[in-house]
Amino acid sequence: MAILDAPGPSVLTGPAPRGSADPRARRAVGPRALRVVGYVALIVAAVAVLLPFFWMAMSSLKGPNAIFTIPVKWLPDVWRWDNYAEIWRASGIATWWKNTVVLSAVVTFLQVLTGSFAAYGFSRMRFPGRDVLFLTYVGTIAVPWQAYMIPQFIIFSKLHLVNSLWSIILLQAFGAFGVFLMKQYFDSIPEELSEAARIDGLSEYGIWRLIMLPLSGPAVASLALLTFVNTWNDYLGPLLYLRAPELWTLQLGLQRFATDLYNANYSLLFTGLTLSVVPIAVIFLLGQRFFVQGIATSGLKG
């Protein structure tokens, strides 16, 4: 009687029916199928996003009459590598490159410097009205630049900064988003580190430079990457403030190149576009790990 009452499979009932399946196996099939569908959707989306860039890069290696063929030819019949030498000779792309690199590097440095410094004050210093001032400053992110660009242009004109690279540098040297991003990361760093440094005699400038910045590598990398990409791709700012051709950036120079010089030579235009897109894409791919880490960890506290 004890044997018959024991739990487990019964010898009298025999093996399970052949058509039955393990419930755990059925439960595992659902998540696995959803994961496969998700991967397929991501692959399709990635191909849809990258396909125009691939066509642009391939068009930069074609002749002027081979770009808009029907049906579309994705690969050139004759690879025209001399297009890159031609655009370098026929345009001022070397000057545009230099101006864009200088502006992007200087603005990125200043954004990281001013953003991290102001963020340290909002995160670690105690003074009346700190939270109200921070919310007011961050609230300026919601105000579009087009709302105040005319008064700003008048001020820069009065200061004789128009038609100078300094106008773009001063225009973008400060940013509320950078302060917000760095403050969120600074808030996640234990306060005990700053207190121990003060006990050891380190000043607030030393704490910011020797403790906070080295511990905020992902946030600094994220801010630098975003600022560099935005400055590199900026078109409206140079259009308003940079008038002389020797001050043009890549975006402004390529637009003038397309309309004034080689209106019908789209192969050279795509060559210039490739030269402007590929470097920033490589920089973004190399820094995406730090970018994702910085954005993710900046929201832990605050």
Q: How high is the pLDDT of residue 109?
A: 95
- For the chain, residues with pLDDT lower than 70 are 1-30, 260-264, 290-302
Closest by alpha carbon to 271, among 64, 23, 30, 68? 64
Q: How high is the pLDDT of residue 155?
A: 92
Q: Which tens digit of pLDDT belongs to each residue from 95-136?
A: 999 999 999 999 999 999 999 999 999 988 888 888 899 999
Q: Where are the domains of the chain?
A: 85-297
Q: Which tens digit of pLDDT belongs to each residue from 139-183?
A: 888 888 888 889 999 999 999 889 999 999 998 988 899 999 899
State the pTM of this model.
0.78
User: Which long-range contacts link 136-142 to residues 24+ away (Cβ below 8 Å)?
Assistant: 137/176, 137/179, 138/176, 138/179, 138/180, 139/176, 140/176, 141/176, 141/177, 141/180
Q: How high is the pLDDT of residue 302?
A: 42
Residue 291, both tokens: 């970018």
Residue 82, both tokens: 């001399």
Which region holds residue 297: left if phi is over 0, alpha if psi is between -120 and 50, else beta? alpha
Q: How high is the pLDDT of residue 108?
A: 94
Q: How high is the pLDDT of residue 1?
A: 42
What are the Cα distances from residue 183, in Å, to 197, 199, 202? Answer: 19, 23, 21
Largest CA distance in the chain: 104
Q: How high is the pLDDT of residue 31?
A: 77
Residue 184, both tokens: 């969120």
Q: How high is the pLDDT of residue 26?
A: 56
Count of C-beta atoms within a 10 Å radius of residue 297: 16
Residue 274, both tokens: 């490739």
Question: Residue 159: what residue type?
Answer: L
The arrangement of secondary structure in 85-297, i.e. its CATH architecture, is Orthogonal Bundle (1.10)
